[in-house]
């Protein structure tokens, strides 16, 4: 998935184009829009690849509550657990980009309904970015 494809998926998922750009900007700042990146690994090096492989193989837990991971740099233990469960239920890697975009949308709808409602009608880029942050 390219950066443009991520934005398109967010719009298809129900966000306005402006809200999708705000979310994309947040993802760019958080992860450079790389879905298998570990917090602090600015180049998405072998460290991030190994971390993802270890989580997928069950050699380490994603839900450690201290290391951000993925497009949105999910860090809270409860959110990481939900991301992990979402990936496993779909039979894909925790680093799968499409799955993470879908998880982001599902999480917004389910856990942050007021923010989601705003993002479905947002016409102010600054306002949308501020609310997402």
Return the residue matching tokens 């129900």. Answer: 14
pTM of the full structure = 0.93
The CA-based diameter of the chain, rounded to the nearest angstrom, is 44
pLDDT digits (tens, 9 = 90+) for 36-90: 999 988 776 888 999 999 999 999 999 888 889 999 999 999 999 999 999 999 9
DSSP state of 129: H
Q: Tell me the C-alpha to C-alpha distance, in Å, between residue 53 and each of 4, 39, 59, 124.
A: 26, 16, 8, 39
């Amino acid at each position: 998935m390219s950066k443009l494809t991520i934005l398109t998926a967010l719009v298809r998922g129900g966000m306005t184009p402006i809200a999708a750009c705000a979310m994309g900007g947040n993802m760019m700042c958080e992860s450079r829009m790389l879905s298998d990146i570990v917090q602090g690994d600015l180049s998405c090096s072998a460290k991030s690849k190994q971390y993802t492989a270890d989580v997928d193989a069950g050699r380490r837990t994603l839900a450690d509550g201290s290391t951000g991971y993925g497009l949105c740099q999910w860090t809270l233990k409860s959110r990481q657990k939900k991301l992990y469960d979402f990936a496993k239920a779909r039979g894909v890697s925790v680093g799968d980009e499409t799955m993470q975009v879908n998880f982001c949308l599902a999480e917004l709808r389910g856990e942050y309904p007021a923010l989601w409602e705003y993002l479905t009608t947002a016409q102010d880029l600054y306002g949308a970015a501020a609310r997402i942050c």
